[in-house]
Structure 1
C-alpha cells in the first residue's frame, strides 16, 4: 500500500479552487454513458457529482489565507498483490477508503467543542480510478529513454530528407526505428513503453479530496502540521494541535489487513520502510531471517519492483554498507519500498 497526502499546488502557489483538480479526476469518464461513469463518493453517498464536489470544497474555506492550502489530496495506491487479493470488487476499495478516513480523523490531536474529532467532522470526497499512465520517472520509461531519443533523432532526419535538406533513405530510417522499438527493454503488448502510455493490468486506486476546514467551516484541520501532538495558547485558551502521521499510516495498513484478511509480507510493511530508512543493515538482516516461504515472497516482490542485486549476498555490517554495492542496493530497495508502502 502506497499512500500520499499532498496540499494541492500549481507551481509554488496553492490552488484557490478545487475545480481544475476535480476536472482532472473526471478524465476517465470522458466518452462514457451516464451508467458507465464513476461518481465521487463520501462517507454517506456513492453518487456525488463533480459540480457538487467543486462547490462543497470551494465554499468551505472561511478565513483561510491565499498562502494556505484549501484542500489536500490523499492518493490510495494498493499494490498489485493487494489488488489481486481483494479481487475485482469496486465496493471493497470504497469501504476501505471510508474506514481509512475514520482513522484520518482520529489521527488529529484536536478537539471540537471539547470532544474528539470524528469522521463526521471531515469534509471529503473520493473517486475510484481504473487507469494509470506511465510517467517519465517510471523505470520502464527511463530505461527505454535512450531508444526513444535515437528514434526521435531518426524521425527528425526523415523530415530533413523529405525537405531535401539531407541525403539518405527514408525506408532505411524507418527500418532502424522498427528495430529500436523491438530492441527496447520494456514493452507492453508488443509496443515500446513510453511516457503517457496506459499501463496494463489492474491499476485501481483512489483519490480523496479533503477540505482543510472541518464540515462546520469553523476549524482548520491540517494533515501537514509539523506537530505530532502539542498544545498552544490561542485567544487565552489552551488548544490542542497536531496530526500523528505514524498513527495514520499504521492504521491504514492494519485496517486493510483486518478487513480483507490479508497476510502482509515484511517488505510490504510500514515497519520495514521505517527500519530501512533508519537502520538499513537491520532491514537486510531481517530479510535474510524470514522463514523460507516468506523470504521467497519477499525476494519476488523486490524483484518485481526492480531490485536487481542478488539478495542472498546482502552486506550485513556497517563497514560493508558503503561504496557502490550499498548505493545500488539502497536505490533499488528505496524504489521497491515506495511502490508498496506509505509516505506523506
Structure 2
C-alpha cells in the first residue's frame, strides 16, 4: 500500500481553485461513453459530477490565506497483491470510505467542544484504473541506456536521410532492432518507456479533501508537523495536529480486516518505520522470518525493483555483509506501491 498526502500547488504557489486538479482526474473519462464514466463519490453519495466537486471545494475556503492550502490530495495505491484480494470497484470505494472515517479520528482538534467526526470532513474521491510508467520507475531507468543509444541511432538515420551524413539506414536499423531486443524490461515485446501504460489491475483512488471542515469554520490540516499539541490562539487554548503514523497504520489494519489480507513483514508500515530508523534491525528481523515468509518477502522486494545479492544464511552475515548492498535498493523499494507509505 502506498498512500500519499500533499497540498496541491500550481507552480510554486498553493492552488486557488480545485478546478485544474478535478479536470486532471477526469482524464480517464475523456474517451468513455456517459454510462462508462467513473464519477466522484464521497461518504454518502456516488455519481457526483466534477462541476459539483469544484464548486463545493472552492466554496469551502473561508478565511484561508494565500499562504495556506485550500485542499489536500490523498492517493491510495494498493499493491498488486492487495488488489488481488479485491473483487469489485465498489469494495475499493467502501474501503476508501472506511479509511476516511479513520482520517477524521487522527486529528487532534475539537469542533464544537468534541472530537472531529467523519461528518466534519468534506472530501470527494475518484477511482482510476490506469497508471503509466514514469521516468523514475526502475524499469524505465534500467532501460534508459538502451533508449539513449536507440535515440542516437535514429538521429543518425535522419541525418543520412537528409543527406547530411554518409551511411546505411538499413544497418543502423539492425542495430536499433538488436538494442530493442536487449533492453531488459518489455511488455508484449515492446521496450518499457516513460508514458507506457502499466499492465494488470492498476486500480487506485484519488481524494480531494478540503482544508476546512464541513461547516467552513475550522481548519483541518493533515500537513501539520504536529501529532498532538496545544497552542494559545486569541486567548484560547486550541488543540492542533494530525497523527500521520496512526493514519497510515490504520490504513493497513482496515484493509487487512476487511479483505482478510495476510500482510507480509516487508509490506507492513511497522517494518517501513523500523527500516527508516534502524535499518540494521530491519534486516535482522527480515533474516529471522520463517522460511516461507522470508521467501515471499524477497519475492515482493524483487518485484519492486530491488536487486538482491546472494544472501548468506548466517543471520549475522546477513546483517553485516549484505547491509550496504541492500540499503540503497531498499530505500527505493520501500517507496514503491508494493511496500511503502
Q: Deviations over 1:312-333 (max 9, x none)?
A: 32886699758xx534311222
Asked whether the equivalents of residues 284 and 314 of structure 1 are also in contact (C-alpha less than 8 Å), the reply is no
Structure 1 SS opposite 2:200: coil
Structure 2 SS opposite 1:213: coil
Q: Mapping of 1:1-344 within 5 angstroms?
A: 1-87=1-87, 89-310=88-309, 312-313=311-312, 321=320, 326-339=323-336, 340-343=338-341
Structure 2 SS opposite 1:313: coil
- Following TM superposition, by how much is the alpha carbon of 1:311 offset from its aligned partner in structure 2, in angstroms? 6.1
Asked whether the equivalents of residues 131 and 198 of structure 2 are also in contact (C-alpha less than 8 Å), the reply is yes
Q: Using the alignment, how far apart are the partners of 2:40 and 2:201 within structure 1?
A: 20
Asked whether the equivalents of residues 288 and 315 of structure 2 are also in contact (C-alpha less than 8 Å), the reply is no
Gaps in structure 1 of 5+ consecutive residues? none
- Following TM superposition, by how much is the alpha carbon of 1:158 offset from its aligned partner in structure 2, in angstroms? 1.4
Q: Using the alignment, how far apart are the partners of 1:102 and 1:187 within structure 2?
A: 41
- Following TM superposition, by how much is the alpha carbon of 1:204 offset from its aligned partner in structure 2, in angstroms? 0.6
Cα RMSD, aligned residues only = 1.8
Tell me: CA distance 1:311–1:68, structure 2 relative to 1, closer, same or farther (3 Å): farther
Q: Deviations over 1:22-77 (max 9, x none)?
A: 11111111111011110010001111011111111111111111111111110000
Q: Using the alignment, how far apart are the partners of 2:205 and 2:198 within structure 1?
A: 16
Alignment length, in residue pairs?
A: 340
Deviates more, 1:297-306 or 1:69-78: 297-306
Tell me: CA distance 1:28–1:319, structure 2 relative to 1, closer, same or farther (3 Å): closer
Q: Using the alignment, how far apart are the partners of 1:97 and 1:274 within structure 2?
A: 23
- Following TM superposition, by how much is the alpha carbon of 1:135 offset from its aligned partner in structure 2, in angstroms? 0.2
Q: Deviations over 1:212-244 (max 9, x none)?
A: 111111111100101110111111111110001
Q: Using the alignment, how far apart are the partners of 1:307 and 1:284 within structure 2?
A: 14
Asked whether the equivalents of residues 315 and 321 of structure 1 are also in contact (C-alpha less than 8 Å), the reply is no
Q: Using the alignment, how far apart are the partners of 2:5 and 2:90 within structure 1?
A: 23
Normalised by the length of structure 1, the TM-score is 0.95
